Amino acid sequence: MDSARLELRSYRRPFRQPLKTSHGLWSLREGILLRLTDAEGRVGWGEIAPIVEFGTESMGQAIQFCRSLPQITPELIDQIPAELPACRFGLESAWEMLTADKAIEQAAASPYSHLLPAGANALLSWQPLWQQGARTFKWKIGVATLNEELNLLEHLISALPAGARLRLDANGGLSWDAACEWLQVCDRYAVEFLEQPLPPDQLSQMLQLCDRYKTPLALDESVTTVEQLEMCHQQGWQGIFVIKAAIAGSPARLRQLCQTHPLDVVWSSVFETAIARHYILNRLIPSLPASDRAIGFGVKSWFANSVLDQPEFEEIWRSLETVGARG
């Protein structure tokens, strides 16, 4: 068995409330589900969930690329261009799901980090999550004025019970001066880490910030793909790497990198459906060295209940329409 037939279906799901980050407002998650079927009728599921703001291909580019593919083979998957990291993830993970031993799957044991909305809404949102057992929270910053957000941070920190952990994510939206102000405050409150304070082209400045402040820094937009991750690692980044596996490109290469180097990793969701989520949580993460960091998959509250989140992939598939004849 060396090849499989590819079928595509697309999904669209609105966020309960638009996700506000320094990239702007995000109201609709769109993606593509893949089904590979081999000659024996075995099936492998995959998902392409691009985020253009992170430098991935667009939905249109992904659909166009997938439509151009003949029978899927491992050789073809190896030749997917680096500019299509979400396609690479989707097809490679689907191939693995088709061919690998299901018996080795196990659920990742790590606790989740839960995403709070930006601005003052964070003050209302942590409590129901806390009551359900959440202990690590992430708050998006860089969307309102510095003073406003620093003020809200004080409120949030004094409201959170002892035992809560807080991460901040600027999505690359701070200036150097603002990042310094944030980090002074973070150092006082033992914030777990500040994520992507500056844009991806300012790695050397972020390395300087690491030297100046105690609060750990994490790269996210800087390390969207495995190739970028390798580059930042080579350039001396010793802080945290936030890895969104679903847009990182080849999972095999990601595995190899994480097995070769003792990286401080935080796994992070891209608001994927149960299909990519299953692969990441049950196959990818358990195959790698364990990390103490909570994983950023606490995003359930961002969507209404949906068939897209349940574990019967056939049922998800049946609920969707075939990707139309045109891109």
Annotated active-site positions, please? 140, 244
User: Of the listed pieces 10-18, 60-68, 193-201, 309-317, which binds Mg ion according to CB under 5 A?
Assistant: 193-201
Angle at 259 between CA 253 and CA 263, to 5 degrees: 100
Question: Which residue stretch of 3-11, 59-67, 79-87, 168-176 sits at the interface with Mg ion (rule: CB under 5 A)?
Answer: 168-176
Range in contact with Mg ion (rule: CB under 5 A) among 22-30, 75-83, 164-172, 311-319: 164-172
Query: Of the two residues 250 and 269, which places its CB atom closer to Mg ion in the complex?
Result: 269
- CB nearer to Mg ion: give 63 or 171: 171
Alpha-carbon 272 to chain mean position: 8
Q: Alpha-carbon torsion 193, 196, 197, 203, what sign? A: positive
Instruction: Enumerate residues 213-232 that contact Mg ion by CB under 5 A.
Output: 220
Of 159, 215, 208, 145, the closest CA to residue 184 belongs to: 215
Q: Does 47 bind Mg ion (CB under 5 A)?
A: no
Residues 201 and 232 sit within 8 Å (Cβ to Cβ)? no
Which residue's CB is nearer to Mg ion, number 241 or number 313?
241
Residue 140 β-bridge partners: 169
Tell the smallest beta-carbon distance from residue 153 to Mg ion (Å).
Answer: 17
d(CA 80, CA 101): 24
- Are the CB atoms for 165 and 137 separated by under 8 Å? yes
Size, binding site for Mg ion by CB under 5 A = 3
Min CB(247)–Mg ion separation in Å = 12
What is the spatial distance between Cα 55 and Cα 12, in angstroms, rounded to a whole number?
Answer: 20
Q: Nearest-CB residue to Mg ion?
A: 220
* Interacting positions 253-282 with Mg ion (CB under 5 A): none
Which of 110, 94, 109, 101 shows the shortest CA–CA distance to 313? 94
Distance, CA of 286 to CA of 280 (rounded, Å)? 9
Q: Which of residues 51-80 bind Mg ion (CB under 5 A)?
A: none
Q: Is 21 helix (H, G, I), strand (E, B) or coil?
A: strand
The least CB distance from residue 197 to Mg ion, in Å, is: 11
Q: Which is nearer to Mg ion, 6 or 285 (CB)?
A: 285
Nearer to Mg ion, 89 or 139 (CB): 139
Binding segment for Mg ion (CB under 5 A), chosen from 152-160, 167-175, 259-267, 318-326, is: 167-175
169 makes contact with Mg ion (CB under 5 A): yes
> Which tokens is 247 given?
């847009």
Minimum distance from residue 21 beta carbon to Mg ion (Å): 8
Q: CB 103 → Mg ion: shortest distance, Å?
A: 34
Least spacing, CB of residue 165 vs Mg ion, in Å: 16
- If one asks whether residue 192 binds Mg ion (CB under 5 A), the answer comes out as no
Binding segment for Mg ion (CB under 5 A), chosen from 11-19, 67-75, 78-86, 161-169, is: 161-169
- Cα-to-chain-centroid distance, residue 19: 14
> With respect to Mg ion, which residue has the nearer C-beta, 64 or 205?
205
> Are 112 and 298 in contact, with CB atoms under 8 Å apart?
yes
Q: Could you give the strand order of the β-sheet that contains 136-140, starting from the edge strand earlier in sequence? A: 264-267, 240-243, 217-219, 193-195, 165-169, 136-140, 112-116, 295-298
Residues at the site binding Mg ion, with contacts judged by CB under 5 A:
169, 195, 220
